[in-house]
Structures are given as structure tokens and as C-alpha cells.
Amino acid sequence: MNFPPDVPSFEPEQLLSWAIQQFGQRFAVVTSFQKEGMVLVHMAVQIFPKVRVLTIDTGRMPEETYAMMETVRQHYNISIETLTPDATESSRLVTLHGPNLFRQSGALRKLCCEVRKVRPLARKMTELDAFAVGLRRGQSEERAHVEKVAVDGPRLKLSPLADWDEEQIEKYLTEHQVPVHPLYAQGYATVGCHCCTRAIQPGEALRAGRWWWENEGDKECGLHVTPKGQLKRELDVLLEEITAS
């Protein structure tokens, strides 16, 4: 999909405004209600109060996330489109590998994320021509080269905050009185499934609280960084077993 050459240089609000005007209801903000995502939600609602907001409920979310979802819904008077895993796939996942398969191997952890997060979002993407996420280059080594505007198959993936730092995020949240996920107050730096996320210790990397038992590999679920090499081959085999009719 083509876009004007000056679009990647837009400031976040300008980029969101362009996307809303360009794509209308075929654009959405995708968020798990972390700080960056909440900045985007706030910006987008100011531009268009009926902007589409999507979130993924994996079935393993902490109670604080459900409370945050309701806070956001009421605060901005918006609907939140909630995506869930395919019931048959999630049932097969647990039947074959148990409820806590993510502790057994990197490939099984990726499989859990694939079924509970990646595939539900992929199904919803057929309704969209563009979407925005809260990725920042400073979040991790894997995200260091995130582009503000990237072609993601037949649609555009926007990361309006790609070049923002933590200080800019915090300043925006404070100045605009944006709701903040309650787990941040408990020492969390990122928020995911309750079984796969913990608070971090002083000096730890931002994403150290994700899948902390893994000694190797990226701290990613597959939504933004696709597995490669042997891990990808193992994941493909496992996924075929889950999705076979």
C-alpha cells in the first residue's frame, strides 16, 4: 500500500489525523491499555470521538486489565472491540499441551501467544486498511528500528510514538490526565497475561518482566516481531496440529 512520502515525518497527532481521514472506519487503534497505547487512544479520541479501538482478551488477562478496560470505556465514552481466541483452537491448545504450556519451551510459549493473540488480531485485520500501535524504539533491542509507517501485508501499520522516549510518554499522560493501568503502580513496566508478566526490579530492562523464565530469545509474542529460523519451524509444526480440521 502506498502513502505520501512526507507521512512518516508527521508528529503523532498529525499521523493519526491523516489515518482517520484517509481510512475512516477501516482504521483502528490497537491497544492493551499500556501507557503508550493510552497516549494513542487519548490523541485519537480528541481527533475523532468514534475512532475504533481494538484490544485482545487472551483469556489469561489480570483482573486489573479488565478494570482498566472499563475505566477507558467510561472515561472516553467509547466502545472497545474485544478480540478473543478461537474456541476450538484454544481448547485444542490446552488439551494437547496443558494450561501452562508456555513454561515448557520457547516454541510452546510462542504457540500460546499465536493462538491467543496473533491469530485473533489477524482475523480482525481483514476489516482494516490501517492500524496504530504503541511501539517505541526505546522499548527493546528488537524494536530499535520500528518505523512510524510500515507496510504490513495489504495494510499500513502505524507506530506514531516510535521516536518518543519514556519522559515524553509520562509528560503527556500527566498533562492530559490520561488514565493509567493500575499495575504500573505495583512496579510493572509492561502489562500482558497475568501468568507471563511480573513487576521488574530496579535496573532491569523494560521488558524483563515478560516471560522472565526464558534465558534466550526475544521478549516478544509474535504480534510485532515474527519468529525466525528453527523456532519458526517448530512453531509451524505445533500450529498445524492445533489448526488441523
- Separation in Å, CA 111 to CA 95, 205, 242: 13, 24, 9
Number of domains in the chain: 1
Q: Model confidence over 6-56: pLDDT tens digits?
A: 999 999 999 999 999 999 999 999 999 999 999 999 999 999 999 999 999
Q: Where are the alpha helices (DSSP H) in the chain?
A: 12-23, 35-47, 63-76, 87-97, 106-113, 119-124, 166-175, 229-243
Q: What's residue 217's pLDDT?
A: 62
Domain annotation covers residue 1: no
Q: Model confidence over 125-165: pLDDT tens digits?
A: 999 999 999 999 988 777 788 999 999 889 999 999 999 99
Percent over 90 (pLDDT), the chain: 73
Domain annotation covers residue 2: no
Q: How confident is the model at residue 166 (pLDDT cuts 50, 70, 90)?
A: very high
Domain annotation covers residue 209: yes
The one catalytic residue among 112, 113, 193, 221? 221
Local structure of residue 134 (DSSP, 8 states): -
pLDDT at 1 over 80: no
Domain annotation covers residue 232: yes
Q: Model confidence over 191-200: pLDDT tens digits?
A: 999 999 999 9
4: left (phi over 0), alpha (psi -120 to 50) or beta: beta
Annotation says 221 is catalytic: yes
pLDDT at 205 over 80: yes
CATH number of the domain enclosing 81 = 3.40.50.620
HEC secondary structure over 22-85: HHHHHEEEECCCCHHHHHHHHHHHHHCCCCEEEEECCCCCCHHHHHHHHHHHHHHCCCCEEECC
- Tell me the residue range of the domain where 72 lies: 7-243
Domain annotation covers residue 221: yes
